[in-house]
């Protein structure tokens, strides 16, 4: 009898954990989508008004809210179908077992060194570029629609891809692990109101892909030569080359590392000197 009680308890715990896991991933996806955040706020306001109308006996507003709550879910599905689809697609792209490839310290340093060399050239020559580093969320949908490369990362290759008049210049480069997977990739542009109107399509595309995945987007401005990063739906504008190198080394560190390896930290600092 005691064994059956333990089994039932474990089932209930597993049930609750699964519900919270689904809610966690949904809320994590929603917070990166401006329209879904506004929708979520609107639903909370309707619920709050319903509670107020019921508490104070506001018959008319309560009658109207009943209709809204009855037909609202159907209207939400129709109106926000693209946003709901994006959230579900993001859940489907999530790799539960982690990054496509976990890089060693030497591989991370080499990759950052090669990318930094290209960024330095872009900055000095005012060449526009967009480099996206895949992490846990797969970017296979965007890779399929771009030009496949599958080559080792090198400064010369990145410079040649984004060199003016190159057919792939206007698209983005996608990096998986320590390989350049594709070039000429097209990403969704962000609708965020927080981004300055002075920034162009390249910055909005970098922010847009960071809103729907956990990738790292690196931008070199063609107009100003300034370097920026977009991570988790946030744009870090006009960073120095050293700031970008340090941030990349930190973001590319395996997430399963709990304790800090002193030697690894020292090695990563050397690359910025």
Ordered domains of the chain (ranges, CATH): 2-93 (no CATH), 105-270 (3.40.1700.10)
- Please give the Cα distance from 269 to 273 (Å, whole number): 7
What is the reported pLDDT for 265? 45
List the chain pLDDT tens, one digit each, 273 residues: 577 888 888 888 998 898 888 777 767 666 656 666 777 788 889 889 988 988 888 888 888 888 888 888 888 888 777 767 766 666 665 554 444 467 888 999 999 999 999 999 999 999 999 999 999 888 888 998 999 999 999 999 999 999 998 888 889 999 998 899 999 999 999 888 778 888 899 999 999 999 888 899 999 999 999 999 999 889 999 999 999 999 999 999 876 543 444 444 445 444 444
- Please give the Cα distance from 139 to 136 (Å, whole number): 9
What is the reported pLDDT for 264? 46
What is the reported pLDDT for 130? 97
What is the reported pLDDT for 91? 60
Please report how the helices 105-125 and 155-162 are oriented relative to each other, as an axis angle in degrees rounded to 10.
40
- Please give the Cα distance from 72 to 89 (Å, whole number): 23
- Please give the Cα distance from 57 to 34 (Å, whole number): 34
What is the reported pLDDT for 83? 67
User: Under a CB-based contact definition with an 8 Å cutoff, are residues 271 and 111 in contact?
Assistant: no
User: Under a CB-based contact definition with an 8 Å cutoff, are residues 124 and 135 in contact?
Assistant: no
Distance of CA 97 to the CA centre of its chain: 18
Long-range contacts of 5-11 (CB under 8 A, 24+ apart): none
User: Under a CB-based contact definition with an 8 Å cutoff, are residues 272 and 246 in contact?
Assistant: yes
Please report how the helices 59-79 and 34-56 are oriented relative to each other, as an axis angle in degrees rounded to 10.
160
- Please give the Cα distance from 88 to 266 (Å, whole number): 41
What is the reported pLDDT for 101? 60
- Please give the Cα distance from 74 to 114 (Å, whole number): 50
């Amino acid at each position: 009898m005691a064994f059956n009680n333990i089994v039932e308890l474990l089932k209930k715990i597993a049930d609750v954990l699964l519900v919270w896991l689904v809610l966690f991933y949904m809320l994590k996806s929603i917070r990166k989508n401006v329209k879904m955040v506004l929708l979520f706020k609107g639903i909370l306001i309707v619920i709050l008004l319903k509670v107020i109308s019921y508490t104070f006996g506001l018959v008319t507003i309560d009658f109207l809210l009943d209709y809204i709550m009855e037909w609202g879910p159907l209207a939400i599905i129709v109106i926000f179908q693209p946003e709901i689809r994006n959230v579900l697609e993001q859940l489907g792209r999530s790799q539960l077992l982690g990054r496509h490839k976990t890089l060693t310290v030497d591989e991370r340093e080499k990759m950052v060194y090669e990318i930094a060399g290209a960024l330095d050239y872009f900055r000095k020559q005012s060449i526009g570029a967009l480099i996206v580093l895949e992490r846990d969320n797969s970017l296979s949908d965007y890779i399929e629609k771009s030009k496949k490369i599958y080559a080792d990362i090198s400064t010369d290759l990145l410079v040649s891809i984004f060199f003016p008049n190159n057919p792939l210049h206007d698209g983005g480069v996608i990096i998986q692990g320590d390989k350049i997977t594709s070039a000429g990739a097209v990403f969704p542009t962000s609708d965020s109101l927080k981004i300055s109107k002075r920034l162009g399509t390249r910055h909005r595309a970098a922010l847009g892909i960071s809103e729907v995945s956990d990738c790292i987007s690196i931008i070199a401005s063609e107009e100003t030569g300034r370097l920026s990063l977009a991570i988790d739906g946030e744009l870090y504008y006009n960073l120095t080359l050293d700031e970008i190198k340090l941030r990349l080394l930190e973001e590319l560190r395996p997430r399963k590392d709990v304790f800090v390896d002193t030697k690894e930290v020292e090695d990563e600092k050397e690359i910025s000197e």
